[in-house]
Structures are given as C-alpha cells and as structure tokens.
Structure 1
Amino acid sequence: MASKVPVFDFEARFDPQKTLAQRDDEELPFVGDIAEAGQELLLDTCVYIDGLQGRARDIVADLLDIRQSNHSSVAVQELMHTVGVLDPQHPGTKVAVRQIGMTIHAMQPHRTFAPDSDVLGRAALLSGMLCRLQGYQRDARLRALQDCVLFLQAMKLGFTVLTANVSDFDYLLQLIPSGRALFYRSDN
C-alpha cells in the first residue's frame, strides 16, 4: 500500500522577507560549563567529525554521556559523502575511512531515524527560503537543505539538535522559534 503524500500548506509559512542577522552568543542556547540532563539529542554531522578529530570539548562528551543521543540518516549520508571525497592516495584516508565506518556501525538502529516525506518537503521549502534570504550560493544550498531536514526531523521527533553550526541553526531558530538546537564551540 502506497503511503499518502502529505499536503503542504504553501501559504502558511513564516517569511520575514529580509536577510537575517546573526545573533550574539548570549542570545543563543549554548552548552554550559556543566553538562545537564534534558531533552533527547539528534546529533548534527559536525558532532561526529569534531569527536573523530579531537576538536570536541570535554563538555560535549559529558553531555553525550548523560543525555539520550539519536542519529539521523542525514548524518550517515554526510559521513558517507566524506568517505567518497577522501583521496584514496592520501596517507590518512584509510584511517579516516575506518574511523567513520566504526562511528556509523556504533549507531544503534533503534536510535537512528530517517526523515519522512513530510519532513523532506517542508525542509525543501524552508531551505529555499533560507537560501533566498541569506543569498546562499550553490555550494551552500545542499548544506542548507541537509540542515533544514535535520532541524525539522528533530522537531517532529521531539529532539534537540546538538551542533557547532551556530550560524545556520541560528537562522533556522529565527525562522521557526519552536525548534530546538543546542550549540557548542569546537576546539580549532
């Protein structure tokens, strides 16, 4: 039996019709100095990459220890894209591919979610608005779509997105204030 295609309300959308400004850190939900229990998390791809590269601060690991972590097929897709673009001749590629593989295999299937057609359709609309408002060029448009899918998927599942991508998710929180994101700064 085929699933029903969702009906999108194209007119009922928030569109400020102006470029959004990046807000100050003090106005945004950042991880504090002490990890606290709270909402279940949906991890942005940068969380895995920062962890693998040793750029995640200890507070992020502490937070992941005390909160339920969930995964998105969006992150799996982005990690696998990374595997595809790595130069097979580079000496570090083999280790990186193995680490990414171990990361993906460690994701518990009952904690890994795929976005449905409702989320995908709404994310396409939202990312189109974001690209128009912020003047995103071609390179940033796919990233914006993936971020929108992750953001709306977290909303639908009742999760909070954990991310170091402050600028893009700040814009998403401005467009949809009922969404939830929790930010951290990675060590460079």
Structure 2
Amino acid sequence: MSDFDFDAALRWARFDPYRTLARRQDEELPFVSDRADSGQDILLDTCVYIDGLQGRAPEVVADLLDIRISNHSTVAIQELMHTVGVLDPKHPGTKGAVRQIGVTIMDMKPHRIFAPDPDVLGRAALLSGMLCRLQGYEKDARLRALQDCVLFLQAQKLGFTVLTANVSDFDYLLQLIPTGRALFYRATQ
C-alpha cells in the first residue's frame, strides 16, 4: 500500500479558485523587516544560498540566519547540484562557483536536512499543476513551480517558514494555501 492517499489529495485540492491569481502589493506580504527578529524555524529556498554566495542577500538575511534555526531541504540540494551540472566546465569562474556550492552543501548540518515524503510530493505535484494552469506557466516555469510547491508544503508540514526572495510565486502559493508560511526579502543588486 502506498504512503500517498490519492483521494485525500483530491479532497484537499478543493481550494482551486479556477481563476488567474494577481500578485499582491508588498505591503500585504510578510517581508523581513530592517531588523531581524526571532520566530519560527526557517526552511531556506535555493535563492537564499545563491544570493548569499553572490553577495546579493541583504544584511538582515544573515542576521536572521544567525537568530533563527535554519533548516534545509533536499529540494535545495537538488537545485544547487543542478546548477553545478549546468555550469560550463570551460568557463574560468566555474571551478570557484562549484567549490562555493560544495562548501555550502557540506556546511548543512545533517540533522537540519529534510527530505519531502510521498504525501508532500504528491500534493505538491497537484498544487503545481493547478498553479501552472491558473497562471499559464510555460515549460521552463513548470519545473520551478513544482520545486517551489514541494518546498512550500514541506515547510508547512514541518511547521517551518520558507525564507525566499521569490515573491511572486510564493505569494500565489500563500493565496492558495493561506495556512502556509513564507518570509520574503529583496535581493540587492
């Protein structure tokens, strides 16, 4: 017998609004303030690692990571490793980027790394399919939507808040599942 309940997932998906979602104003969304504060454990979206490595994460994000318990998803590890595979081995910056990604992954404490279970994966696939249909996502955005949905539902199940700079996609997810939690920041240029 499977760990995934298909019928329960279909009942769960009754929140489908059958209409395109509009991005809300920043003032309506949970953004990190100018000063980091304590709160729930956070689950890091892949953009947090990338922004940190590229020096685009605002200082308040580093402060937040110092104050709160940070958790990692195998989804982020997968996306970071995909980046390693995509990088051109002949490019002069590739070796350094791969080294930085390796250090980032190796610095993750094993007891703070979580893998999504079959229930999260099944519901995330259903949710991302709905999101792709509602928002008219094309092929490139569909895989990203699936990964975002897995991370969002994984955080919800574990009682964590997703820390992300991906405001538009996670705003849509919060509209569809208001009981989920995300905390946004703006990457610096």
- TM-score bracket, normalised by the shorter chain, equals over 0.9
Corresponding residue of 1:34: 35
Partner of 2:77: 76
Query: Residues 174-185 of structure 1 correspond to what in structure 2 (within 5 A)?
Result: 174-185=175-186
Quick one: distance in 2 between partners of 1:93 and 1:85?
Answer: 10
Match in the other structure for 1:11: 11
- Which residue in the other structure is 1:116 paired with? 117
Percent identity between matched residues is 78
Aligned residues: 186
Alignment of 1:50-65 (within 5 A): 50-65=51-66
Measured on the aligned residues, the alpha-carbon RMSD in Å equals: 0.8
Instruction: After TM superposition, give the deviation of residue 26 of structure 1 in Å.
Output: 0.1
Q: Is the aligned partner of 1:163 residue 2:167? A: no
Moved more, 130-139 or 6-15: 6-15
TM-score w.r.t. the length of structure 2 is 0.97
Amino acid at match of 1:78: E
Q: Tell me by how many angstroms 1:175 deviates.
A: 0.2
Partner SS state of residue 89, structure 1:
coil
| Per-residue CA distance 1:24-61 (angstroms, 9 max, x = gap) | 00000000011000000000000000000000010000
* Structure 2 segments unaligned to the other structure (5+ residues): none
Shift >3 Å, 4+ stretches: none
**Map of 1:102-141 to 2, 5 A cutoff?**
102-141=103-142
Structure 1 regions of 5+ residues with no counterpart? none
SS at match of 1:23: coil
* Aligned position for 2:98: 97
- Greater helix content: 2
Q: Give the Cα–Cα distance (whole angstroms) in 2 for the partners of residues 72 and 7 of structure 1.
A: 23
